[in-house]
Each structure stands twice: as C-alpha cells, then as structure tokens.
Amino acid sequence: MKIFTERTQIQNVIRQNKTRNLSIGFVPTMGALHDGHLFLVKEALKENQVVVVSIFVNPTQFDNKDDLKKYPRTLDNDVELLESVSKDILIYAPTVADIYNGQTVSEAFDFDGLEFEMEGRFRSGHFDGVGTVVKRLLEIVTPDNAYFGKKDYQQLMIIKKLVEKQQIPVNIVGCDIYREVNGLAMSSRNVRLKREYREAAPFIFKTLQTAKNKFGTKSANKVTEWVENEFAKHKFLKLEYFIIADAVTLKSVKRKNKNKKYRAFVAVYADDIRLIDNIALN
C-alpha cells in the first residue's frame, strides 16, 4: 500500500500510469472510513485500472469550527480498511498546506443556484468550501472517473455543475446510498451516536420510505406536513428540515409534474449529531 502526503509524489505516479494508458479512478474522502466509502472504492476498482483514494479533512467546508475539531481522524485504521479491499490502492493523505499553499480560504463559485437550496440555507459557505477542495483534488489527481455517494445528493449535483462550469475533464459517478442493516445511511458521524440515539436513528429512513409511498397519492405539502408531525412527536430526533425537491434543480416542489423526477431530503439532529438522508420519490 503506497501512501503519499505531497501532491508532487502522487502526480508522478499518476503520470507514469497515464503514459501506460491506464484509466484512473478517484474516491475523495475525509477519512473515518466505513463500508459506505469501501462501496465507492469497490465501484472504482471495477471500472478503472488504477484507483486513488484521498483522505483529507477539509477545513473550508465546516461552518461549525467545533464540528471540524471533533471530526474523527483515523488514518491508520483507514489504511487497514483500504488494504482489506486491495493492496494496490494509491492513498493521497495531504496536509492542509499541500492543498491550500498557506491560504486556507474558499474560492467563490456560482453553481446556478444549487448552492442556495436545502443545505445551503443552513450551512453558510459550505459549498464554496466543497467546490474549492474538490476542484483542487481533481486538478491534482486528474482522474478519468471520480466517485461520490448519493447520501450527499446536493453535493453530488453541485460537483457535477462544478465540473461542467470549470470544464474539468472527468466523469462524475454517483453511487447509491449504502445503508446499515437497519436502514440508517452510513456516515462517519454514526460512530458518535449515543446508544439511545443510534437505536432511534433508523426512524429517519423509515419515515422517508413512508413519505415516498404517500407521495404517490398526496401533494408535496401534505406529505411534508405528515413528516413534520411525525418528527414533532419523536422523543430523540429533532427535524431541521424536510423538503421535497426537483431532482435536477433542487427547488422545492409546489405542484407535481408527471414528467419530472423528485427526491425527498431530510436533515435531523440526534442529540448534537446532524444526520442527513434522501430518497428518490419516482
């Protein structure tokens, strides 16, 4: 297993592989790896001859500095997990200085309004931070394909918009949400859940599934009202938002159109841990 901490090191190896016409797959992560990340890595291994996984906790996408401080950093364990999948993975674990060259600030992006919906309303500057680090990582690794999970569906759509507008030559692959047996979407934050909150958390996906069923016969407003009432009665989970949105524009639905695709998005606090999830509605 090869671990690189400097961009020049990883770029040299990628250059060598590209001269041999080998396809490069890339999975960017913030570490604290779990089976959801490994699912993305396995998809990349199936479709590419060389796979790079980055492990970098990006400071510019945290609007809450306490959240950044608490974010788990488990590089040794992450390397072990990746080795269990393949010993040929190239790991890029840069320092903040290597990514930001001493200027740890976000660029400002225009994502055609995608950045102002849902998460954008609650996390100021978050998507500028995401766009900044993803752009830099794609420029460093220069992959043919890059893999992102649909749990962060808004982020996935924003990265697709970033690549389109910045004309970065890479194919962005969205992979299905990887769930625990009880339905809870896999997240690095799940390990921080206290027992009673972990036991309560599957309620989130169950509610999304019921909302999907109701969406077939009821209006978006009626479904939203039902979800809000369900969470209002819950002892451990506090709803931040539930939104039914157009799957492309991410704008809230006012009236259903049979020719459009919709998704339901939810953000919930389990004690002080913020969990997000979403589901395709049609």
Architecture of the structural domain at 2-175 = 3-Layer(aba) Sandwich (3.40)
Alpha carbon separation from 147 to 83, 98, 109, 204 (Å, rounded): 19, 22, 21, 25
At residue 62, the pLDDT reads: 87
**For the residues of 203-252, what is the DSSP string, one character each?**
HHHHHHHHHHHHHTTS-HHHHHHHHHHHHHT-SSEEEEEEEEEETTT-PB
Fill in the DSSP letter of residue 155: H
Angle between helix 126-141 and helix 7-19 axes, rounded to 10 deg: 50
Question: CATH topology for 188-280?
Answer: Pantoate--beta-alanine Ligase; Chain: A,domain 2 (3.30.1300)
At residue 67, the pLDDT reads: 82
194: region left, alpha or beta (phi > 0 left; psi from -120 to 50 alpha)? beta
- Burial class, 75, CB count within 10 angstroms (exposed 0-12 / middle 13-18 / buried 19+): middle
**Residues in CB range of 161: below 8 A, 6 or more apart:** 111, 112, 114
At residue 72, the pLDDT reads: 82
| Selected catalytic residue, list 34, 37, 126, 234 | 37
Q: Consecutive sets of 10 residues in the chain, 282 residues long: mean pLDDT of each?
A: 95 98 98 96 98 96 84 93 97 97 93 95 90 98 98 98 98 97 94 95 98 96 98 98 97 92 98 96 94
Residue 126 annotated as catalytic: no
**Residues in CB range of 169: below 8 A, 6 or more apart:** none
At residue 170, the pLDDT reads: 98
CA distance 14 to 259: 43
Q: Where are the domains of the chain?
A: 2-175, 188-280
Strands of the chain, DSSP E = 2-4, 24-29, 50-55, 90-92, 145-149, 171-175, 237-246, 262-270, 273-280
